[in-house]
Structure 1
Amino acid sequence: MTDTPVGIDAIEIHTGKLKLDLAETFAPAMGDSPEKYTKGLGLHASSFPDTYEDIVTMGANAAHRLMDRKGLEPDDIGRIDVATESAFDHSKPVSTYIAGCLEQRFEGNFHHANKGERKFACVAGTQSIDDAYNWIRADRHRGRAALVIATDTALYARDDPGESTQGAGAVAMLIDEDPNLVELSTEQGYGSADETDFLKPQQQFPSVDGKRSVKVYLARMREALVDYERVGGTIHPDDFRLGPFHTPFPGMVRKAAVLAYRHITRGTDIEDELAEDIGKQPRREAFDDEEAFMDALADYTDELKETDHYLEWYDRTIDPTLDIARQVGNWYTGSVHVARVSGLKSLAEAGEDAVGQNLLVGSYGSGAQAEIHVETVQENWLDEIDALNIDEQLENRYDLTFEEYEDVHDAHNYDEDSSVEEFTAPDGEFVFDGWGRMGERKYRYVE
């Protein structure tokens, strides 16, 4: 068992090349006010894949840029794990397709790299990082690194309540010893239960119980936080510079954040200071029945989220992690990893020295499981964040009309026989290149 620090050495993001403006394009077509999306959901735009893009091309393009920037070859990679809930094959993993793409651009091959595909809704990306971490800490990696790729096209059926939260993109992460970006904590906390809040039983578009999904998300996150404290010790708000959460839409993170703050201020000096304005947090033992206690706790929470203490903490710790999500929508398995990048990017732009600062990372997947762990920012973090080109990607997206959005939605709907011309021209990237003799998908690199 190695004691060498293990974590995320490098990260790259690839967003879908099309943009749907929710306020200017989607809202008028749906007969809604823009504020329903910009203020209610906290979303301004969604990213979509062009007709030659899918989860393989997005994942391969992110991984290619990462490997090229880091000067890596296939022999440097010992495993490729892909996390997705948008897989199109029940046997052949997406990681094999991505490896095949990358072999078009690098000398050598990945024949001696372990490949797999992780599925547990949106938490699978973090689970894949856990697998890579354990593989390295167990000293089974032979000095090689792991490539973890979270890639999804989060489409909903037309007129589904979740339609406005759609998104598409990929996050590629290099997990290695002595990482440049963040070191991962050994301690983890879990909250998991058999839930039916979001599922895809042999279908492309999800079946969602929206209200229940929010409740399950919050309940599992709280369980994971409590479980983390059993091994990692009591959490105080001042211990963490950023709190990247799974972000299906920023409005859900707002709900989770105030509950997290309520929990981590309980019994602290902050609760004492808050008591002057809103009183102490209700304790279960002070009430005769559960309903009365829960009502009192809800009233306290409503007052808490309006206090200066909470608002200052939220603006400093949570809000920076939502900047990118507001522009791209939900990326399922990539969501929490986009939140991490967003927060660190905000610190970099502010000129903040974040070395040694901690992140409290909250991952979640419907069905349902949450994980809490801690990451510590490393000395070379700024070089890794400065290397990202996400602003350029977002700026260069093609802005869809509503009619074009309908066309591209049909193009990515497996049940529709649709032929739509691409909206953008591929340049220096992998593209979908038709079907093989057994119905497999084929890919090529466009110079």
Structure 2
Amino acid sequence: MNVGIEKIGFYTAPYYIDMVDLANARRQDPNKFLVGIGQKQQSVIPPSQDVVTMAANAAADILTSDDKELIDMIIFGSETGIDNSKAASMYLQSLLGISGSARAFEIKQACYGATAGLQMGINYLTLHPKRKVLVVGADIARYGLNTSGEVTQGGGAVVMLLSNNPKIISFDGQSTFYSKNIMDFWRPIYTKEAKVDGHYSNDVYIDFFNRTFKQYLERYSLKLNDFAALVFHVPYPKMGIKALRTVADQHDPQYKSIWGEFANSIVYNSRVGNLYTGRFT
């Protein structure tokens, strides 16, 4: 059965900070941020906005009245929820005027929340192909002032409408997983600022990527050249290419082409910053 993403919407606040200005304020070489991290600008989310309002803005741009009538499920992936009990999807359901007959819940699992929601939505549509599912990835990435994570802040919302008319991308259900309880990144309930061990987190990202990618290749008898494209989670723009370098032959002429395509794909990421669960390239 052919199911996948029919529409995608995005929203972020109109405010930002320039990374050159941040570098100068922190007495750092701007190229440390511009080249080393790959970040040029960073969205700043004002107090008048939160993950719900941003998701509502993103969804309002793509949903028609017909779409809303067919939505059976709203899955909200976020680690910046506005309530410890009530799901952000409940507020979104009300703001968008989606039927009360739709299931609505929230998933919190750091940067994996929206991906898990996407997989759950696809599974639902294989059983209910005439319906639709709305999946949201919205976050506000916030770190302490003058910390190593400060340059990887940002915020925004990505909404994906799933259906049996996947105009953007379809999914075949093939996947592999790896999970482990580690402390490279966490956000205790008593603070709005995330805690992160940056170097360790980079190592964990690459390790997890290699484990799952190798498992995928082995399970489905594939090699790197079999892929027309790869999608990466990018907490900062350069992270994806660092992982790709560990599996791609840098002496292969095709590698230069891959790098060029990756650089083109991070244009928006380099201007918006980190969305946690909504951050992909």
Q: Which residue of 2 aligns with 1:6?
A: 3
Task: Compute the displacement of 1:307 (Å).
Answer: 6.0
Deviation at 1:258, TM superposition (A): 0.3
CA distance, structure 2, for counterparts of residue 61 and residue 209 of structure 1: 33
Amino acid paired to 1:260 = V
Summarize deviations over 1:244-273 as a string: whole Å, max 9, x none: 2111112222211101314xxxxxxxxxxx
Match of 1:83 among 53, 77, 84: 77
* Residues 61-72 of structure 1 mapped to structure 2, 5 A cutoff: 61-68=57-64, 71-72=65-66
Q: State whether structure 2 residue 183 is matched by structure 1 residue 196.
A: yes
How far apart, CA to CA, are the structure 1 residues paired with 2:13 and 2:112? 21
User: What is the match of residue 242 of structure 2?
Assistant: 255
Seen in structure 2, the aligned counterparts of structure 1 residues 75 and 37 have a Cα distance that, compared at 3 Å, is: same
Residues 73/192 of structure 1: CA separation in 2 closer, same or farther (3 Å cut) = closer
Following superposition, the deviation at residue 73 of structure 1 comes to 4.8
- Alignment coverage as a number of residue pairs: 280
Matched, 1:118 2:112: no
Is 1:330 the counterpart of 2:274 in the alignment? yes
Is it true that 1:231 corresponds to 2:231 in the alignment? no
Give the secondary-structure state (helix, strand or coil) at the position aligned to 1:186.
coil
1:42 maps to which residue? Answer: 38
Q: Provide Cα deviations, 1:164-216, integer angstroms capped at 9, x if missing partner.
A: 11111100100111311110121102122221110112132111111110111
* Matching residue of 1:289: none
Q: Secondary structure at the match of 2:83?
A: coil
Whole-Å separation in 1 of the counterparts to 2:24 and 2:193: 24
The two structures, once aligned, show a CA RMSD in angstroms of: 1.6
Query: 1:188 touches 1:232 (CA, 8 Å); kept in 2?
Result: no
Which residue number in structure 1 is paired with residue 263 of structure 2?
319
Q: Is the 8 A contact 1:171 1:334 kept in 2?
A: yes
Contact 1:187 1:231 in 2 (8 A): no
Once the two structures are superposed, what CA deviation does each residue of 1:138-161 show, in whole Å capped at 9, x if it has no partner? x1x372100001111111111121
* 8 A contact 1:190–1:225 mirrored in 2: no
Query: C-alpha separation between the residues in 1 aligned to 2:7 and 2:220?
Result: 25
Is 1:27–1:34's contact at 8 Å kept on the other side of the alignment?
yes
TM (normalized to structure 1)?
0.60
Unaligned runs of 5+ in 1: 104-108, 263-303, 340-447
8 A Cα contact 1:244 1:321, kept in partner: no
Q: Hey, what's the Cα distance between the residues in 1 that align with 2:263 and 2:235?
A: 15
What CA distance in whole angstroms lies between the structure 2 residues aligned with 1:66 and 1:38? 32
Aligned to 1:423: none
For 1:117-266, what aligned pairs fall within 5 Å after superposition?
Answer: 117-137=106-126, 139=127, 141=128, 143-202=130-189, 203-237=191-225, 239-262=226-249
In structure 2, distance between residues paired with 1:236 and 1:164: 32
- TM-superposed CA distance for 1:114, in Å, is 0.4
Q: d(CA) in 2 for partners of 1:160 and 1:185? A: 41
Deviation per CA, 1:37-96, whole angstroms, max 9, x where unpaired?
00110100011223321111100111111113xx53532100000000111211100000
One-letter amino acid of the structure 2 residue matched with residue 9 of structure 1: E
Give 3-state SS (helix, strand or coil) of 2:174's partner.
Answer: strand
AA at the equivalent of 2:171: L
Whether the aligned pair in 1 keeps the contact of 2:67 and 2:132 (CA below 8 Å) is no
Partner of 1:58: 54
Aligned with 1:157: secondary structure?
coil
Highest CA radius of gyration, 1 or 2? 1
* Partner secondary structure for residue 153 of structure 1: strand
Whole-angstrom distance in 1 between the partners of 2:133 and 2:49 = 24
CA deviation map 1:84-136 (0-9, x unaligned): 01112111000001111112xxxxx4210001101111111111000001111
Distance in 2 of aligned mates of 1:74 and 1:256: 38
Q: Is the 8 A contact 1:243 1:321 kept in 2?
A: no
Paired with 1:82 and 1:75, the residues of 2 have a C-alpha distance of 18
Letter in 1 for 2:218: R
Separation (CA, whole Å) in 1 of partners of 2:163 and 2:101: 17
Distance 1:60 1:213 in 2: 31
Q: How far apart are the structure 2 equivalents of 1:75 and 1:256?
A: 41
Q: Which amino acid aligns with 1:123?
A: Y
Give the letter aligned to residue 264 of structure 2.
Answer: P
Whole-Å Cα distance in 2 between the matches of residues 143 and 308 of structure 1? 45
Q: Distance in 1 between matches of 2:264 and 2:212?
A: 23
Work out the CA distance in 2 between the residues paired with 1:229 and 1:52: 46
Secondary structure at the aligned position of 1:190 is classed as: coil
Gaps in structure 2 of 5+ consecutive residues? none
Matches of 1:307 and 1:5, distance apart in 2: 35
TM-score relative to the length of structure 2? 0.94
Separation of aligned partners in 2, 1:41 and 1:142: 42
Displacement of 1:308? 4.2
